[in-house]
Amino acid sequence: MYNAKYIWPGIVIFIVLFSMPFWMNTGQEQYTRPQLALPAGEKECVEPAEWMRANHMQLLNTWRDMALREEQRVYVSSSGKQWEVSLQNTCMKCHSNYVEFCDKCHVSNSVSPYCWDCHVLPKGNQ
């Protein structure tokens, strides 16, 4: 092999960079899905939980447009139930434990919604 003194460091750098997820995680506990504090006393969300998990941010976007652009403050869910269109008065009333619910899942997936620059975070950790 020619130029071994350049090739070897190059290969080592390449391997170290591209196998990063594998060695950065060694020695850590097994990753588990964040355990969320679901609202006590409630059984169902605005929409089915499976759909909410993937689409809640888009629902919030729709809600925002509904409330502010179309002046429509009632949302009829797929099951026919009516909900008040409001981030604070609907979502956060049930999911009042922001830190243990929304935030826990977001932090683990590196999501940081900027909504709380303006909207009031529920303080209660009941």
Partner 1 sequence: MFISLVAVIVLGAIAWMGGATPGLQYLFGIVLPMIAVVVFLAGFIWRIMDWAKSPVPFSIPTTGGQQRSLDWIKPARLDSPYTKTGTVGRMLLEVLLFRSLFRNTKAELRNGPRLVYWSSKWLWLFALLFHYCFLVVFIRHFRFFLDPVPVAIGMMETVDGIMQIGVPRLFMSGVILFGALLFLLMRRLCDQKLRYISLPNDYFPLLLLIGLVGSGLCLRYIGKADIATIKEMTMGIATLSPHIPALPISPLFYVHLGFLSTLLIVFPFSKLMHMGGIFLSPTRNLPNNTRAVHHTNPWNPPKTYRTYAEYENDFRDLMDEAGLPLEITPEQAAAKE
**Exposure of 102 by Cβ count < 10 A (0-12 exposed, 13-18 middle, 19+ buried)?**
buried
Q: Which stretch binds ligand HEC (CB under 6 A): 1-9, 14-22, 23-31, 84-92?
A: 84-92
d(CA 34, CA 108): 7
Residues 55-114 that bind partner 1 (CB under 8 A): 55, 57-58, 60-61, 64, 105, 107-114
Count of residues near ligand HEC by CB under 6 A: 39
DSSP codes of every residue in 67-84: HHHS---EEE-TTS-EEE
Contact between 118 and partner 1 (CB under 8 A)?
no
- Contact flag: residue 16 with ligand HEC (CB under 6 A): no
Place of tokens 């409630």: 42
50 binds partner 1 (CB under 8 A): yes
